[in-house]
Amino acid sequence: MQDVFSAHRQEGSTVLDSKKTALIVVDMINEFCKPGGKMVLPGYEKLMPQQKALIAAARANDVPVIFVIDSHRKNMRQDREFLKRTPHGVENTWATEIIEDLEPREDDLYVIKHRYSAFFQTDMDLLLKDMQISQVVVCGVVTNICVRSTVHDAFFQGYDVVVPHDACAATGPREHVSTLYDIATHFGTVAETDTVIEGLSSGKTILNQVFEEDMAPGMAAQ
What is the reported pLDDT for 13?
82
What is the reported pLDDT for 10?
61
Give the integer Cα–Cα distance in Å for 46 and 37: 18
Residues 41-95: tens digit of each pLDDT: 988 999 999 999 999 999 999 999 999 999 877 775 565 565 556 666 667 899 8
Give the integer Cα–Cα distance in Å for 222 and 56: 26
Is the pLDDT assigned to residue 33 strictly greater than 80?
yes
CATH class of segment(s) 13-207: alpha beta
Q: Tell me the CA end-to-end span of the chain in Å, nearest whole number.
A: 26
Give the integer Cα–Cα distance in Å for 74 and 126: 26
Q: Is 110 in contact with 66 (CB distance < 8 Å)?
A: yes
Is the pLDDT assigned to residue 11 strictly greater than 90?
no
Amino acid, single-letter form, for residue 34 = K
Give the integer Cα–Cα distance in Å for 168 and 26: 9
Give the integer Cα–Cα distance in Å for 180 and 168: 10
Amino acid, single-letter form, for residue 146 = C
Is the pLDDT assigned to residue 172 strictly greater than 80?
yes
Would you give the distance in Å from CA 189 to the centre of its chain? Answer: 13
Q: For the chain, what are the domain ranges?
A: 13-207
Give the integer Cα–Cα distance in Å for 195 and 93: 36
Within 114-185, where are the H helices?
124-130, 148-156, 173-182
Give the integer Cα–Cα distance in Å for 34 and 93: 14
